[in-house]
A and B are shown apart, each in its own frame.
Chain A
Amino acid sequence: MSDVAVGIYGIIVLLALFLTGLEMAYCMILVGFLGFTFLMTFPAASSLVIKDFFDNFTTYSYTVIPLFIIMGEFASNSNVAKRLYLGAHKWFGHIPGGLAMTTVAGATAFKAMCGSTLATVGTFSNLAMPEMDRYGYRKELSAGTIASVSTIGMILPPSTVLIIYGLEVEQSIGRLFLAGIVPALMISFLFMVVIAAWVMLKPAVAPRGQKAPWKERLAVIPEALIVLVIFGVVIGGMITGFFSPTEAGTIGTVAIFILALVRREVNPRMLISSFNGALRTSIMVLMLIAGSAIFGHFLAITEIPMIAAKWASSLPIPGSMIMLLIIAIYLIGGSIMDDLAFMVLATPIFFPTAVQLGYDPIWFGILICVTLMIGGIIPPVAIYVFILGNITGLPFKTIYKGVVPFLSALVLALLILFLFPQVALWLPNLFMGKG
């Protein structure tokens, strides 16, 4: 049997094992180990497993993961989100669909401090949903808004997904963070357009709220400025080379901690919850990365990624068609399993093809993240819909119904990014030069 055939069988066995409910990381370790044993030797495969675990667990650059995650945990467990939401409420609350727009603006601002997308859906389900209920918003609109806007954290810095992509394909995290800003803001804007259009067509879905006086509106500006300053210091420090990503995560964590301390929001419960959340998410991510490294080494000796890249670039069809196919695979993968896990698994396979076709690795990262954003809210495994449903008790059908209009915004954003890579690349090229 050729090495390529072994690799293909390996991928098939891996996908079959996923369906048994065995943890994804264990599946990748197991198949990677067995495949490596089959092609090399048992001692070489044993040594590979240990070496990959040891290297992944003792790599300085991976320490960025818990540090950015704990930054987001501190932001989630203090009242930052609530203040941002109430602040946005003052500005947008009175316009038709204003509370839904407030949710979009508040969640986008919150994402600038919190790298976890799941934390956003949890936080805003508890925060924005009751408020929209109070004003008589239709459940489809409120639930659709929260589920959709929670996905923005996948590309808005400090996105954990972008950090992991950067570490996996050895791209600058600073460049990736900069590349995510414009598309994230564009998607936020498109979400607001969707809300405005929805309310214009069916005014009953979102009754108008009260108008806040200018004095109250101006009073909330400092809160937004604090977020901007922390965001600016963390991202600016990274792109100027003043901090390493690990240090940037630490500075952001300490800044939010001090902010919470000054506001007397720090207590043992908040600290325990933040550290608990950070450790739990970090180890989930690290186990996936370690599993992916072992499986990736097995695939590397089969040479499947390289052969696939060469084959794809020699096909008599335009590169853009191949990219569309890759996007479709990510879309399907992201909709049947956890988006992050699928990215960790699939990127080493498809990244060489994208590079071989001459596409920018940073652009490719943003493109697949937007694809996974779509995957996160479409069935069968729409993780954001599930969490929102569990917290609010709303039927999934209602949430899916609400998500549909926002999907059109995400698909449009994906199309714009696909046709105009500069939307993502303009900012990193401006601040860090051409990569």
Chain B
Amino acid sequence: MKRFMAGIVNIDKSLYVVAGIVLACMIVLTLFDVILRNLHHPITGSMEFIQYGGSIVFGFSIPFGTLLGAQVIVDILTEKLKPGTKRTVNIATRCIGILLFLFIAYNFFLYGIDVRHSGERTASFKIPYYPFSFALCFSFLLQSFTIFRDLILVVKGAEK
């Protein structure tokens, strides 16, 4: 179990690093596009790269973002609960989160298969859509594992 927990964190972190690198690439590309556009040599398809780069930035930040607590919660009521009740509520909400993201990951997988068969591609570079869909599927699957890790911690008695 220890290896599983550490493995989840490592994969989450790796995706987060990839998201950061893609964000840095987006900044550089947009900068060069603005400069070259004024020299009448715009970078063809830069918007498309930014657009789909955005999906990697957002999608790949979800699992590690969750570990860092990048989600808004309303805790005015749960903070006032007794430790035991709070733990039970935490377990219930973690279970809902796991099921929700497993469901989303599964549907993203189906969507990926769908767009792969239909052959949908981006307008400029004709990049197929399905890799983005599968990438998001992987990210959401990892998100459910991340919440599962959280659940294990709650069950073991650690604070959420």
Which A232-288 residues have a C-beta within 8 angstroms of B?
243, 246-247, 250-251, 253-254, 275-276, 278-284, 286-288
Given A57-B55, A58-B52, A254-B27, A20 and B92 contact (CB-CB distance below 8 Å)? yes
Number of B residues, CB within 8 Å of A = 49
Q: Which residues of B contact A338 (CB under 8 A)?
A: 72, 74
A24 close to chain B: CB less than 8 A: yes
C-alpha spacing A26/B72, complex, angstroms: 10
Contact status A21-B90, CB under 8 Å: yes
Taking the closest CB of chain A, its distance from the CB of B57, in whole angstroms, is 6
Chain A residues within an 8 Å CB radius of B16: 279
Encoded as 1 (CB less than 8 Å from any B CB) or 0, chain A from 275 to 306 comes to 11011111110111000000000000000000
Contact B65 A284 (CB under 8 A): yes
| Interface pair B104/A275, CB less than 8 Å apart | no
Contact A62 B54 (CB under 8 A): yes
**Given known A-B contacts A50-B108, A246-B30, A287 and B62 have beta carbons under 8 A apart:** yes
What is the predominant secondary structure among interface residues of chain B facing chain A?
helix
Is A243's CB under 8 angstroms from B34's CB? yes
Contact status B77-A66, CB under 8 Å: no
- Tell whether A24 pairs with B72 under 8 Å between CB atoms, given A19-B77, A279-B57: yes
Determine whether A49 belongs to the interface, using a CB cutoff of 8 Å to chain B: yes
Return B97 CB to nearest CB of chain A, in Å: 6
Residues of chain B with a CB closer than 8 A to A19's CB: 74, 76-78
Interface string of A2-37 (1 = CB under 8 A from B): 000000000000000011111111100110000000
Q: How far is the CA of A419 from the CA of B72 in the complex (A)?
A: 33
Bound: A47/B103 CA distance, A = 11
Interface positions of B (Cβ within 8 A of A): 16, 19-20, 23-24, 26-27, 30-31, 33-34, 47, 50-55, 57-59, 61-62, 65, 68, 70-78, 89-90, 92-93, 96-97, 100, 103-104, 107-108, 111, 132-133, 136
Q: Given A21-B75, A62-B54, A67-B30, 10 other A-B contacts at CB below 8 A?
A: A24-B71, A49-B104, A50-B111, A53-B104, A57-B58, A60-B50, A67-B26, A276-B68, A279-B19, A284-B72
A-B contact list, 19 entries, CB within 8 Å? A21-B77, A21-B93, A22-B73, A25-B72, A50-B111, A54-B132, A57-B55, A57-B59, A58-B132, A63-B26, A63-B50, A66-B57, A70-B27, A247-B30, A276-B20, A276-B68, A283-B65, A340-B72, A380-B76
Q: Which 6 A-B pairs have the closest CB atoms?
A: A21-B78, A23-B71, A250-B30, A283-B61, A283-B65, A22-B93
Instruction: Give me the interface of A with B, judged by CB distance under 8 Å.
Output: 18-26, 29-30, 46-47, 49-50, 53-54, 56-60, 62-63, 66-67, 70, 243, 246-247, 250-251, 253-254, 275-276, 278-284, 286-288, 336-338, 340-341, 380-381
